[in-house]
A and B are shown apart, each in its own frame.
Chain A
Amino acid sequence: MIDIRDLKLQFDNVKVLDGVTMKIPNNMIYVIMGPSGSGKSTILRVLNRLVELYKPKIEGEVYLDGQDIFKMPLTLLRRRVQMVFQIPNPIPTLSIWENVALGPKLNGLAKSKAELKERVRWALAKAQLWDEVKNRLDAPAASLSGGQQQRLCIARALAFKPEVLLMDEPTANLDPVNTAKIEELMLELKKEMTIVLVTHYPPQAARVGDWVAFLYGGKIVEEGPVKEVFTRPRHELTEKYVTGKI
């Protein structure tokens, strides 16, 4: 359960989030949708504190299972909360195997070589990439296609066995076939973890989401079960957005 309370965030003098409050229950796909620049990706980057790279001013509180994430050791938080990015970003100089093994190795998540091997295999299988790469695990990650690279990044995140998976427009750069594969994967994964998905494409929210929040100008305009928000939007802005008018 992720509990965000009155989150405000600004870079220099630019306000990005203006009092966001949301509760994200476990084992569901929670979709944050909204136009470009509405602050969607920033919320995700607050949840794993990656946003701190850009030196923002943050107010408000965020709890993960009752623990304040800003007081939690960063290593612990990143072990529990993993992220998949908009641009597939495997470490280009490492092999397929090394990319997935990276997280468990750096964080001491596997006690033995055999355990590490099993974990990497499991993560690649879970990300539906194992059959395509099992014979060339030592090949450079850059030799994979875009869709495969994105699934490799999902495998890299899954190798942590995270509680929360943040997905920042993971299909924005992929073709329909690879998009469908990854959407299927999300539905499968939500049985084991909480997924927070950011998208600027309403049909995707409707296809995979359980709960959706519509973000506009750093504020939540409306949130609720996907069906409700898409069929009976309460707010004019939401209606315009889901019908493609903004």
Chain B
Amino acid sequence: MIQVLFYAGALLAGLLLSALTAALLGDPALGDLHLSYVLYVVTVAAVALGAAGPRVLKNSLSIAAAVAGVLGGAALVYIFLAQVLYVGTAMAVKHGGLAFLWNIPPTPADETGGIGPALLGTLYMTAIGAFFGFLIGFPAGIYLGEFRRELAAKVARIGVNVLVEFPTITIGLLVYALFSLLGMRAFSGYAGALALTIIMIPYVALFTAAAYASIAPAVREAAYAVTGSLYKTLFIVMRKVVARAVLVAFLLGTAKIAGETAPLLFTAFGNDYYTSEIFGVDLGEPTGALTLLIYYMAQTPYTVQNEVAWGAAAVLLWIILAVFAVARLLQRSA
């Protein structure tokens, strides 16, 4: 409970700080940066004093410094998070409010624009990546967790561990090469979805493996004793034991791939326009994504595009925060 209050308080403080500095300085990003920096310097100074000062000062200060360090460090992160949410949401509101979600991105000559095709592209590719990633990663994880003492599983585990740490841009390149070799269109939503799938698989597999490995030996024996079918033991009985952990793995994996940029650079490629009348976005074509849009629009010298990038960042963060919140709630009630 205290933890929740702390998070909420830090977020609220960040929001207030952003609003205050925005009003005072007219430049929200810069104002927060200064304040955060001051907070950081104070913390470091307190730690240094606590370590070097006389004993009485040392004891009381080191406790204060430890507390300040933990709170300050966490607050720092939350201030920046709140910063993006606050400024970004404000930008989204400025550029049409709800219409920001479906308007197409602005060219430098436009006065306003939205994130429509990119939002749809992210939702589609993430959904496909999450679905297939789970479909393959879940059984793979069961194998890694339940048969962890077998040689093949040990070897497979090494492979999965490598894959989960793989630079994601190389996975994009791999998919690009694969699609090109097969004569398929590498700059497409399907290629993007495949790249996200490959990133999702080891993530879900490792979570699932850990969950299955954590099942108490007595419960495991019960799961085998109630049926002679290995499939039913693993996929029905034991799944029911770890269902919550697996669902959390699915949600966290989904949040992770929704925020990926690198694997989409060589695959989805990005697109500022709607390409299908029925679905909005044709995944056979180059496809936009929120992360790609932020990446491109933040680099241009045009204010309108920068502002839309802020808005896109806020929308992406809201989506990911919502998924995280659901995952946390599930974990808590477990």
Within 8 A of A (CB), among B225-243: 225-229, 232, 236-237, 240-241, 243
Alpha-carbon distance between A53 and B147 when the two chains are bound, in angstroms? 10
Residue B219 is within 8 A (CB to CB) of chain A in the complex: yes
> B225 touches which one: A48, A73, A76, A90 (CB < 8 A)?
A48
Chain A residues within 8 Å of B220, by CB: 53
Whether the Cβ atoms of A106 and B218 lie closer than 8 Å is: no
Whether the Cβ atoms of B229 and A50 lie closer than 8 Å is: no
Chain B: minimal CB distance from A68 (Å): 15
> A91 touches which one: B219, B227, B228, B244 (CB < 8 A)?
B219
The interface on chain B, measured as residues whose beta carbon lies within 8 A of the other chain's beta carbons, has a size of 20
Chain A residues within 8 Å of B229, by CB: 74-75, 106
Whether the Cβ atoms of B232 and A106 lie closer than 8 Å is: yes
Within 8 A of B (CB), among A41-90: 48, 50, 53, 73-79, 82-83, 85-87, 89-90
Chain A residues within 8 Å of B244, by CB: 93
Residue B45 is within 8 A (CB to CB) of chain A in the complex: no
Task: Return the CB mask of B239-256 against A: 1 if under 8 Å, else 0.
Answer: 011011000000000000
Given contacts A91-B241, A92-B241, A93-B240, contact A102 B219 (CB under 8 A): no
Residue of B nearest to A90 (CB): B222
Chain A: minimal CB distance from B185 (Å): 45
Given contacts A103-B226, A107-B227, A156-B226, contact A87 B218 (CB under 8 A): yes
Residue A94 is within 8 A (CB to CB) of chain B in the complex: yes
Alpha-carbon distance between A184 and B224 when the two chains are bound, in angstroms? 28
Alpha-carbon distance between A85 and B226 when the two chains are bound, in angstroms? 12
Chain B residues within 8 Å of A79, by CB: 228
Given contacts A85-B222, A89-B218, contact A78 B227 (CB under 8 A): yes
Chain B: minimal CB distance from A207 (Å): 25
Chain A: minimal CB distance from B115 (Å): 40
Chain A residues within 8 Å of B236, by CB: 106
Task: Return the CB mask of A97-138 against B: 1 if under 8 Å, else 0.
Answer: 000001100110000000000000000000000000000000
Task: Return the CB mask of B200-229 against A: 1 if under 8 Å, else 0.
Answer: 000000000000000010111111111111
Alpha-carbon distance between A145 and B228 when the two chains are bound, in angstroms? 29
Chain A residues within 8 Å of B223, by CB: 91
Alpha-carbon distance between A86 and B216 when the two chains are bound, in angstroms? 13
Whether the Cβ atoms of A89 and B219 lie closer than 8 Å is: yes
Chain B residues within 8 Å of A74, by CB: 228-229
Alpha-carbon distance between A91 and B225 when the two chains are bound, in angstroms? 12
> A83 touches which one: B219, B225, B237, B240 (CB < 8 A)?
B225
Whether the Cβ atoms of A77 and B228 lie closer than 8 Å is: yes
Chain A: minimal CB distance from B267 (Å): 39
Residue of B nearest to A157 (CB): B225
Within 8 A of B (CB), among A6-55: 48, 50, 53
Chain B: minimal CB distance from A92 (Å): 7
Chain A residues within 8 Å of B237, by CB: 91, 102, 106
Alpha-carbon distance between A243 and B25 when the two chains are bound, in angstroms? 90
Whether the Cβ atoms of B218 and A75 lie closer than 8 Å is: no
Chain A residues within 8 Å of B241, by CB: 91-93
Whether the Cβ atoms of A106 and B226 lie closer than 8 Å is: yes
Alpha-carbon distance between A89 and B225 when the two chains are bound, in angstroms? 11
Chain B residues within 8 Å of A92, by CB: 219, 241
Within 8 A of A (CB), among B84-98: none
Chain A residues within 8 Å of B227, by CB: 75, 78, 103, 106-107
Whether the Cβ atoms of A50 and B226 lie closer than 8 Å is: no
Whether the Cβ atoms of B228 and A85 lie closer than 8 Å is: no
Residue of A nearest to B238 (CB): A91
Residue of A nearest to B219 (CB): A89
Chain A: minimal CB distance from B152 (Å): 14
Whether the Cβ atoms of A50 and B225 lie closer than 8 Å is: yes
Whether the Cβ atoms of A91 and B240 lie closer than 8 Å is: yes
Whether the Cβ atoms of B224 and A85 lie closer than 8 Å is: no
Alpha-carbon distance between A53 and B226 when the two chains are bound, in angstroms? 14
Residue of B nearest to A55 (CB): B149
Q: Can you report 25 residue pairs joining A to B where beta carbons are below 8 Å apart?
A: A50-B224, A53-B220, A75-B228, A75-B229, A76-B228, A77-B228, A78-B228, A79-B228, A85-B225, A86-B218, A89-B219, A89-B221, A89-B222, A90-B222, A91-B222, A91-B237, A93-B241, A94-B240, A102-B226, A103-B226, A103-B227, A106-B227, A106-B236, A107-B227, A156-B226
Binding site for A on B (CB under 8 A): 216, 218-229, 232, 236-237, 240-241, 243-244
Using A91-B237, A106-B237 as known contacts, list a sample of 19 further A-B pairs with CB atoms less than 8 Å apart, ordered by residue number in A. Answer: A53-B224, A73-B228, A74-B229, A75-B227, A77-B228, A83-B225, A85-B218, A91-B219, A91-B223, A92-B241, A93-B240, A93-B241, A93-B243, A94-B240, A103-B226, A106-B226, A106-B229, A106-B232, A107-B227
Binding site for B on A (CB under 8 A): 48, 50, 53, 73-79, 82-83, 85-87, 89-94, 102-103, 106-107, 153, 156
